[in-house]
Structure 1
Amino acid sequence: MSRLRPLTRITWPRRPLLYAKCRYVTSKSPHTTAPPFQQSLPPGWEDEAPSLSDFTELPHKDFGKNQLMETNEEFKRSLRGILRQFPPITYAFAYGSGVFPQTDATASRVTHSPHPNPPEAILKWQKGGGKVIDFVLATRFSQHFHSLNLREHRDHYSFVGSMGSAVVSHVQEGYGAGVYFNPYITVNGIMIKYAVVNMQTLQRDLLDWDTLYLAGRLHKPVKILFEEPNIRVANQRNLLSAIRCSLLLLPETFTEKELYSTITGLSYQGDPRMTYGSEHPKKISNIVTHQIKNFRLLYHDLIMSLPNTTYLDSAAINKSGWMEDTNQDLKLKQDMNPERRSNIVRRLPKSFREKVYFLYQRKFGIPGREYQEMLEASKDEDAKGGLKKPVGSAFDRRIAAEKDLPEMVTKAINQTVYWPSAVQGIKGIVTAGPLRAWQYLKEKREKGKMKS
Structure 2
Amino acid sequence: MSRQRPLTRIAWCRRPLLYSNRRYATQQSPQTTASTAHQSLPPGWEDEALSLSDFSQLPHKDFGKNQLMETNEEFKRSLRKILRQLPPITYAFAYGSGVFPQSDATTSRVTHSPHPDAPEAILKWQKGGGKMIDFMLATRFSQHFHSLNLREHRDHYSFLGSLGSGVVSHVQDAYGAGAYFNPYITINGTMIKYAVVNLDTLHRDLTDWDTLYLAGRLHKPVKILFEEPNIRVANQRNLLSAVRCALLLLPPQFTEKQLYSTIAGLSYQGDPRMTYGSEHPKKIDNIVTHQIKNFRYLYHDLITSLPNISYVDGHATSKAAWMDDPKLDLKLSQDMDVERRSNMVRRLPKSFREKVYFLYQRKFAIPGREFQEMLEASKDEDEKGGLKKPVGGKFDRRIAAENDLPDMVTKAIDQTVKWPSTVQSVKGVLTAGPARAWRYLQEKREKGRMKG
Normalising by structure 1, what TM-score? 0.94
Per the alignment, residue 282 of structure 1 pairs with 282
Secondary structure of the 1:348 match is coil
Shift of 1:8: 6.3
Q: Which residue of the partner structure matches residue 374 of structure 2?
A: 374
Unpaired runs of at least 5, structure 2? 13-28
Counterpart in the other structure of 1:337: 337
SS in 1 for 2:332: strand
Q: Identify the residue that residue 19 of structure 1 maps to in structure 2.
A: none
Q: In 1, Cα distance between the equivalents of 2:401 and 2:201? A: 34
Distance of aligned partners of 1:173 and 1:433 in 2 relative to their CA distance in 1, 3 Å threshold: same
**SS at 1:191's partner residue?**
strand
SS for the counterpart of 2:107 is coil
Cα deviation, residue 430, structure 1? 0.5
The 8 Å contact of residues 2 and 351 in structure 1, kept in 2 or not, is answered as no
Amino acid in the other structure paired with 1:346: R
**Pairwise CA distance, 1:376:** 0.2
* 1:307 counterpart letter in structure 2: P
| Residue 9 of structure 2: aligned partner | 7
Cα distance between partner residues in 2 of 1:354 and 1:39? 32
Q: Is the 8 A contact 2:4 2:200 kept in 1?
A: no
Where in structure 2 are the equivalents of 1:14-413 lying within 5 Å? 34-413=34-413
Contact 1:34-1:318 at 8 Å conserved across structures:
no
Deviations along 1:291-319, whole A, 9 cap, x unmatched? 00000000000000000000011110000
Distance in 2 between residues matched to 1:198 and 1:112, nearest whole Å: 35
Amino acid at match of 2:408: M
Whether contact under 8 Å (1:347, 1:390) holds in the other structure is yes
Deviations 1:154-184 (A, max 9, x none): 0000000000000000000000000000000
Aligned CA-pair RMSD = 1.5
Aligned residues of 1:33 and 1:317 also touching (Cα < 8 A):
no
How many residue pairs are counted as aligned between the two chains?
Answer: 432
Q: 1: distance between equivalents of 2:179 and 2:4?
A: 17
Q: 1:180 to 1:277 in 2, by over 3 A?
A: same
**Aligned mates of 2:248, 2:105 — CA distance in 1:** 34
Counterpart amino acid of 2:171?
V
Which amino acid is 2:394 matched to? A
On the 8 A contact 2:4/2:201 being kept in 1, the answer is: no
Offset from partner CA, 1:163-219 (integer Å, 9 cap, x none):
000000000000000000000000000000000000000000000000000000000
Q: Secondary structure at the match of 2:177?
A: coil
Deviations 1:351-380 (A, max 9, x none): 000000000000000000000000000000
Structure 1 pair 444/236, CA: closer, same or farther in 2 (3 Å)? Answer: same
Q: What percentage of aligned pairs have identical amino acids? A: 81
AA partner of residue 295 (structure 2): F
Which amino acid is 2:223 matched to?
A: K
- Aligned counterparts, 1:427-438, within 5 A: 427-438=427-438
- Conservation of the 8 A alpha-carbon contact between 1:179 and 1:197: yes
Mapped contact 1:2–1:210 kept (Cα < 8 A):
no
Match of 2:82, SS state, is helix
* Separation in 2, partners of 1:118, 1:2: 36
1:28-62 per-residue CA deviation (whole Å, 9 max, x = no partner) reads xxxx9952222100000000111100100000000
Q: TM-score, normalised by structure 2?
A: 0.94
Structure 1, unmatched stretches of 5+, are: 11-26
CA–CA distance in 2 between the matches of 1:253 and 1:162? 56
Pick closer, same or farther for the CA change 1:414–1:285 going to 2, 3 Å. Answer: same
> Could you say what secondary structure the match of 2:201 adopts?
helix
Distance in structure 1 (CA, Å) of the matches to 2:370 and 2:301: 39
